Structures are given as C-alpha cells and as structure tokens.
C-alpha cells in the first residue's frame, strides 16, 4: 500500500507518547510557574518562526532536486518536519491548558504549596537537599525542580517546617524532615 494512504502516528493525544512522569493526571489542571510558561512560549515561538520555516525551505530545495526516494535531505527533512509539527501541537495544547501560578502571591507561606522551594533533610543522616515544586513541563531534577505530581512533592504538600513526611521513593520508603520553606 502506498504511504500516501497511510496516516503516520499523528497521535490524537500527543500525551500518549510522553513518559508517564510528564503526563498530567486525568482531570487535573496544568499548573506551571511564570518562568515555565514563558519557557514553553519561547520554545513555541522558536519552532514556528525560525526552525520550521528554515526546514520547509530545505525540504523545498531538496524536492526540487528530483528523485525524492533517495534524497536524504528530503527524507530527513520531512521526518524532522513531522517531529516539529508534533511538538508544536503539544506546546499549543499545554499552553492553552496552562494555569499560571504566581508564587509571589502565595498567602500561606508557612506551608508547602505549588511553587515552594523546600529544603529537606533525610532522617537517615543524609545530606540536606533543596527542591522547588513546579509544573510537569518544567521539572528537571538536575536543576532542583520536581513536578508537583512526583511522590516527594505530593508528600511535601501542606507540610510545615519541622514536619516529617514519608513517601515511597524508587529505593523504598523514606522519611524526610522539612527544614525550610521559601517562595522565591
């Protein structure tokens, strides 16, 4: 059958292709910080205004060279164009469903809520760690940002300084003490 009549994976719900940790739980809002929202908008703008037009130009040039079946620029370009279009659809969906939380307006600063930066100490004598609770799309553990749906963040929500919380980590059950809560 010709590829012209076969629909490639344009997944109706692009969330299905995402790792489980980045999918939003059904029925929840897409909370994000102002920084995370601006990051998604900047990525969308870069894709739409710079990368996609440049790639379309390359694909058009490659197509004008003749035989497309053995034209690497054309084949790779079309594949990359589908990837960019999928990412653009995903970003538009996430931006439209975003609920931006202004951390500076947090009224109850003595408890952990979305946007809080929390320092914790492992009760087993481990070193102190600091995590900011952010949206699913802006989570990056290497930068100290965890998603609000992660097990640690869920355990920390509504905790106060001095509280001990338990959560299931990949290494098993852990207990940590909340050392400090900040809203930056």
| Same-domain status, 49 and 73 | yes
133 is written with which tokens?
């609770």
| Same-domain status, 127 and 88 | no
How far is it, in rounded angstroms, from Cα 42 to Cα 86?
16
| Same-domain status, 116 and 145 | yes
Note whether 183 and 107 are within 8 A (CB): no
| Same-domain status, 59 and 128 | no
Phi (first) and psi of residue 135, to 5 degrees? -70, 165
Full domain range(s) for residue 77: 29-101
- The proportion of the chain whose per-residue pLDDT surpasses 70, expressed as a percent, equals 88
45/70: higher pLDDT: 45
70 is written with which tokens?
């053995």
Q: In this structure, is residue 18 part of a structural domain?
A: no
pLDDT at position 142 over 80: yes
**What is the reported pLDDT for 156?**
96
Specify the pTM.
0.78
| Same-domain status, 140 and 122 | yes
Note whether 103 and 84 are within 8 A (CB): no
Could you tell me how many helices (H) and strands (E) the chain has, helices first?
4, 7
Residue-wise pLDDT for 156-172, tens only, equals 999 999 999 999 988 89
CATH at residue 34: 1.10.287.180
Distance of CA 15 to the CA centre of its chain: 11
């Amino acid at each position: 059958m010709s590829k012209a009549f076969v629909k490639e994976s344009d997944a109706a719900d692009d969330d299905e292709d995402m790792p489980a940790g980045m999918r939003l739980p059904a029925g929840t809002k897409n909370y994000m910080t102002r920084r995370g929202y601006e990051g998604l908008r900047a990525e969308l703008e870069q894709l739409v205004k710079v990368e996609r037009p440049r790639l379309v130009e390359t694909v058009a040039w490659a197509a004008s060279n003749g035989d497309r079946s053995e034209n690497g620029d054309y084949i790779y370009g079309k594949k990359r164009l589908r990837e960019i279009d999928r990412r653009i659809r995903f970003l538009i969906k996430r931006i439209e469903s975003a609920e931006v939380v202004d951390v500076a307006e947090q009224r109850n600063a003595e408890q952990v809520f979305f946007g809080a930066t929390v320092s914790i100490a492992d009760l087993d004598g481990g070193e102190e760690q600091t995590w900011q609770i952010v949206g699913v799309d802006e989570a990056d553990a290497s930068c100290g940002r965890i998603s609000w749906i992660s097990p640690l963040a869920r355990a920390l929500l509504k905790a106060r300084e001095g509280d001990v919380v338990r959560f299931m980590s990949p290494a098993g059950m852990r207990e940590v003490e909340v050392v400090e809560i900040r809203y930056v």
